Structure 1
Amino acid sequence: MLEELEDLFESSTIRPTFSYVHIILALYIFEKHPEGIGRYRLKENLLIGSGTARSLINKLSEIVDFIEVSGNNKRRGHVLTDKGLRFLKMLKKKIPLLEEGNTKALEEIIIQDKKLNAYICLVKNSADKLNSGIEQRDAAIKVNGSGATCLIFDGNDLKYPKSPNIQNNQVKIGYDLQKYFKLKATEHNTELDKDDVIIVGLGDTSERARLATLNSALTLIE
């Protein structure tokens, strides 16, 4: 799936400073703004500079034809093209849920500073690519997030990944939190299936938590 985006990184001079997570998140953001979104608002959402945002918009428009000027009016920003919508639809079959989490409801697994913001992501049928969750935590930290916690659905319960420090079976989360995640899946017209993975990413701002969560999720996507 991500190989379709490789052309966006080609350059005769300097390699672009955006990464896959910025491309994917940009598509989610464009979808949420069907009236159009401009470069300034995009950079604020993606936590990138103006030059990087300009480069990303140009490449999404000119190289892969995923976005276009809204109603031929640049002042209204850009919107997704039919091609961009098709790619996002395919992507959302793998990641159907990406939304801000309720830190009060997530207290069981947020053991750090309660002032942190949280985002929730559901990655379908990806448990076979998950080990202890360290790679996903590191991916969150790589984009200046505060970490990430992964949970695997075994068909009945959501459980923590196996840890080299724990010899017995995987530990499942509490009933209320199980119910919370299942409700979130339902709200996004999906449900938890065996081998699905839930990721909770943390950050000092909502935008940072979202970026951290999605970057963690991309480690489970080919």
Structure 2
Amino acid sequence: MKIIEVPQFGPMFRFSDANIYWALHLLSDGRRIGRKKLSEMVGVGEGSMRKIIDTLKNWNYVIVRQTGITITKSGQAFLSQIPIRVVDVELGDSTVGSFSQSVLVMGVADRVYNGMQQRDAGIKVGATGCTTVVIRDGALMIPPDWNVDERNPELAYKIRKETGITQNDAIIVGSADTKMLAVEAAINAAFELI
């Protein structure tokens, strides 16, 4: 999935679609956030955040005031149509890296083969990787063949309860040495699936 097209000419963007999604996600709770604070929370420079905000403002997804930036109803609608939900699931030893971030990606389980594509998508942005979880034949699996239900029933129960994963969904857990890289890894891998 692409949110913004990268220009063919001129300077390259120093942010990704994952950064744009995360900015909208952070604004989705209705709080006003200043540009500087938002750039810190998203993990991009202020110049990149200015470009993200200008783009979102032109699309009528955010309102910029002196008191901060807020998301609009159009922005909320756009965000809700993306089949990704941020979830908090820790996979313990199944991930590598000091920080992790999980996302539930709806309706893409049939596009997950062995999890290597998601791992590579995470590594591409500088993370240590991504771990993918799907349901196969009723069992919670980390592809290709690690059965979470058999090996760690407590974790499997927790994942099912906290995420609401269905047979059609995938959970991607980005892992990295920083929180923002973990976030970007998970969202980048999710965008490659949708």
Name the TM-score, length of structure 2 as normaliser: 0.88
CA contact (8 A) 2:132 2:171 kept: yes
Q: Deviations over 1:4-29 (max 9, x none)?
A: x346x458743433221111111101
Q: Are the aligned partners of 2:89 and 2:162 in contact in 1 as well (CA < 8 Å)?
A: no
Say if 2:69 is the partner of 1:78.
yes
Q: What does residue 22 of structure 1 align with?
A: 19
CA contact (8 A) 1:100 1:210 kept: no
The answer (yes or no) to whether the contact 2:89–2:159 under 8 Å persists in 1 is no
Aligned to 1:160: 142
Where in structure 2 are the equivalents of 1:24-43 lying within 5 Å? 24-32=21-29, 34-43=30-39
In 1, Cα distance between equivalents of 2:88 and 2:176: 11
Distance 1:118 1:18 in 2: 20
The answer to whether residue 84 in structure 2 is matched with residue 95 in structure 1 is yes
1:107 matched to 2:103? The reply is: no
- Give deviations 1:14-55, integer Å, cap 9, x for gaps: 3433221111111101113x2311111111122111111111
Q: CA RMSD in A?
A: 2.0
Distance 1:20 1:57 in 2: 13
Q: Does the 8 Å contact 1:154/1:195 carry over to 2?
A: no
Aligned partner of 2:115 among 101, 120, 133 = 133
Counterpart-to-counterpart distance in 2, 1:100 and 1:195: 19
1:212 matched to 2:185: yes
- Structure 1 CA distance for aligned equivalents of residues 192 and 173 of structure 2: 14
Distance 1:126 1:60, change over 3 A: same
State the AA in 2 paired with 1:197: A
The residue correspondences of 1:48-87 to structure 2 (distance < 5 A) are 48-62=44-58, 64-69=59-64, 73-74=65-66, 76-87=67-78
The TM-score, its normalising length taken from structure 1, stands at 0.78
Q: Name the CA shift for 1:101/1:207 in 2 (closer, same or farther; >3 Å).
A: farther
Structure 2 Cα separation of the partners of residues 184 and 192 of structure 1: 8
Alignment partners' CA distance in 2, 1:120 and 1:17: 23
Within the candidate set 164, 168, 171, 2:146 is matched to 171
Aligned length: 191
Aligned-pair identity (%): 28
- Distance in 1 of aligned mates of 2:146 and 2:11: 46
Higher strand share: 2
Deviation at 1:155, TM superposition (A): 5.5
